[in-house]
Amino acid sequence: MTRDMISAETSVRVRYADTDQMGVAYHSNYLVWFEVGRTELMRDLGLPYTEMEARGISLPVIEAWCHYVRAAKYDDCLTIISAMNEMPRARVKLSYRVLKEDSILLAEGYTVHGFLSESGKPVRPPKYFLDKLKESFR
């Protein structure tokens, strides 16, 4: 049986530095929280960024989208759910949901990443990357 997606949950707390004068989290922090979730998802898959970079592959963001539903506020404890819904081809797309206590949806969105070689040229996902994902999608 194949899994529909690979996902991971990560928790963060809204810091004072993340907020404006009204105590509301600044909108760009959601993209930072997406990155926190993405980094943990990749680590959970056995594909930490440090290892990929050591092998000469980087995953720059080439597209990002976020839909804001409710505001996160100072000291809220948030859960970021990061997911990969399909095997990548030339690009990999990850989706995110940011929730606060009681599973209240604050934002959802996605990022799309290209695969680049050390020379900065686009490449296909490396075999070791796809092999790890195939293990996880089973």
CATH of the domain at 52: 3.10.129.10
User: pTM for this one?
Assistant: 0.92
Mean pLDDT calculated for residue range 18-26: 95
CB 82 within 8 A of CB 94: yes
Is pLDDT above 80 for 1?
A: no
CB 32 within 8 A of CB 96: no
CA–CA gap between residue 129 and residue 114 (Å, rounded): 13
Residue 110 to residues 21, 37, 62, 85, 119, Cα–Cα distance (Å): 28, 11, 11, 11, 26
Strand 61-68 to strand 104-114: parallel, antiparallel, or no bridges (unpaired)? antiparallel
Domain membership flag for residue 84: yes
Domain membership flag for residue 1: no
CA–CA gap between residue 84 and residue 42 (Å, rounded): 10
Helix H or strand E encompassing 131:
helix 127-137
Mean confidence (pLDDT) of the chain = 93
Domain membership flag for residue 102: yes
Give 32-41 pLDDT, tens digit per residue: 999 999 999 9
Full residue range of the structural domain in which residue 92 is found: 6-137
Give 67-107 pLDDT, tens digit per residue: 999 999 999 999 999 999 988 988 999 999 999 988 999 99
Domain membership flag for residue 25: yes
Is pLDDT above 70 for 136?
A: yes
Number of domains the chain is built from: 1
